[in-house]
Amino acid sequence: MKIFIKKHKIQIFSFLLFIIATMILTVFGDKGLLNFYHMAKERDGIVAEERLLEKENNAIRIEIERLKKDRRYIGSIARQELGMIGKDEIIYIFEE
């Protein structure tokens, strides 16, 4: 009877050890839950960056189309960025 109880305790201990080891590997292993969590966070960051880049690309596409087709827009850009003036425009410079 003592041998049966001792054998039974060893089996229970072995089973519990197996369960604990499986849980540790499930959480902390190479393909565990912790790694999955970090990969999900990284994926979310990449998706957010992709959305931002897509918005920037769309804005650039719109500006390219305006530069190709809209002469007034080209003139306004020339005035703002290059300090150019249009035909029949006069510049007034005031001294303080």
Give the pLDDT confidence of 51-86 residue by residue, as tens digits: 999 999 999 999 999 999 998 898 888 888 887 787
Q: Read out DSSP for 8-69?
A: HHHHHHHHHHHHHHHHHHHHHSTTSHHHHHHHHHHHHHHHHHHHHHHHHHHHHHHHHHHHHH
Q: Taking 70 as the threshold, does the pLDDT of residue 2 lie above it? A: no
Highest mean pLDDT among 6-20, 32-46, 47-61, 68-82: 47-61
Q: Is 95 helix (H, G, I), strand (E, B) or coil?
A: coil
Q: Which amino acid appears at position 9 of this protein? A: K
Give yes or no for a contact between 79 and 85, defined as CB atoms under 8 angstroms apart. yes
CA distance readout (Å), 68 to 18, 56, 62: 69, 18, 10
pLDDT > 70 in the chain, percent = 96
Q: Could you tell me the pLDDT band of residue 27, with boundaries at 50, 70 and 90?
A: confident
Confidence (pLDDT) at 81: 86
